[in-house]
Structure 1
């Protein structure tokens, strides 16, 4: 099976892990944690970073740090991985679901602005959702597939509404927005994931970056059990959300290869885009004018009313040919935990999600394997009269 996305461990991972074992620094304190945070901050274009046990824990703690509380509403796109919504729920809050725009598959800033103007008001200095009477406390844009959202528009809405912004940029390390790196776009926090299927991995773990020293200190305090001083004094309910030195050692070796890995991801995406441009109804993943994607996943979608059925048939056919083709995220309002979450109209999310076909895109995918994937997609498409014969 040609897998969808597997780690590329061809660097210094083994060397750095051995160093951890020899030094006995294997837990949450050690030089690799510090180095990893410095590397992530530099790659994201931010002055501060804190490594965590997972992307979800990073997002949860960031939301708590900016003031999200029990029973609040937090603005979030419906088309996202469920961890985005779960982190909101872990705060005791509820996602207020919004659509994505067609050009980027990221949070529709225009819709958010319109709904805030129509359905919220200021009461006693708080922004209140009129239909439910609940406080609205943050905005969580998601950088889908590593594509930055239109952050200028989102930050403008956030500032005019008095809301903090916490970005779920899980797969966006290496992306740019208007020539700026993805962690320096005006958000209070930007989260990255280092799960095994990400472009760079620590085997797990996450991190946030931030431009405010005070916010970062508050976040670090919360994620290290809120310990005060060197004795066993704790001033709030904290969390043990720390990354281990073992994970960070792998992460450092991976970060050394970030630029090469992102370049490989972009080459793979470009190859697929060129190869499938004559398949009827097949459209490439978004490429908005405002930035450059980190191209975490590659593939295409069927832009037609029957695109969901076509995508399902193609994915099944490819798996039978030992190609790991997958669907994409089911929107949050179609997930059992969030079926009753408040939501705006979601026409783009509902249209897109089941029409997407993701294809193998590991950074070490060989040209021969990618050529095989291309040939099989085109062969299936020709058999179903969806593309022209090769010239």
Structure 2
């Protein structure tokens, strides 16, 4: 009987030992699992501060730098020209854009010139008596006079007495009357001040054109300007001559421009300033919308990261001795989904992924 009791006790001790060993193994395994769970794997990068230009993005529409609105200063019937003044038609410099019938006014001008010619002719006999030397040059002027040609410059008087003599004979008065009519006659013909294209035509051949009537618009399609509205707080980062990358919102074509003017006035409504960018290109059209990227002054010792890596707008996660830490930084330039930050030293281990359920002081693997 005692033997059986001893055997049972021994067996119980063995079973108890086995159970204790199993519990200890499970406990150790749970501890290892907890440690592994606590040490989360994170993606990192080694910080290398560099220099980046301050980038400003804005949109605007193109306007031709050389652009004129044409108005009539005279009245008459519009006559046909070599090239019709219609939208899309191109003209070279000094080519006739529009021609208004001037036959009636030309007749008036010829009459005025003839009257001036008679005035000189009737003045010469008296001049030969009073100013014989001056009469020689006036005789030459008279012989060169043509009623169908613009007046030539009058001979210069050699004395005050001669000038008063000519004034008393009405020479100067009649001369400037003719020159005034000649200037007005030129307004019946509108010539292209530069090579370009018609963008708006408001008249047709054969119609009556009135004084002050708008006739159309004419532009140089090779040179444009675009106005970009930039927050006033960025004025220290931009300057004349800085390059601007422009991209079409429709075709994704890219163009290169430069800042030509910066308005000194800040808009009271939007607190922005107008930056004018000059751009040349044959594929551009007036009114076309473009996205502008201004490359301003250089920012030193900055790092470019994704916006979503910022914690409360001025902190990022870094790893130091295998432990997560929050590092304060200075956001300096937001560009699309990225931001340029300062305040990180070289060789800092920066967490470059968005983390969930983490906290400062947490052990991590990287």
Whether the TM-score (by the shorter chain) exceeds 0.5 is no
Looking at CA atoms only, which structure, 1 or 2, has the larger radius of gyration?
2
- Name the structure, 1 or 2, with higher relative contact order (CA <8 Å, separation 6+): 2
| TM bin (shorter chain) | under 0.3
- TM-score norm. by structure 2 comes to 0.22
- TM-score norm. by structure 1 comes to 0.21
Report which of the two has the higher share of strand.
Answer: 2
Report which of the two has the higher share of helix.
Answer: 1
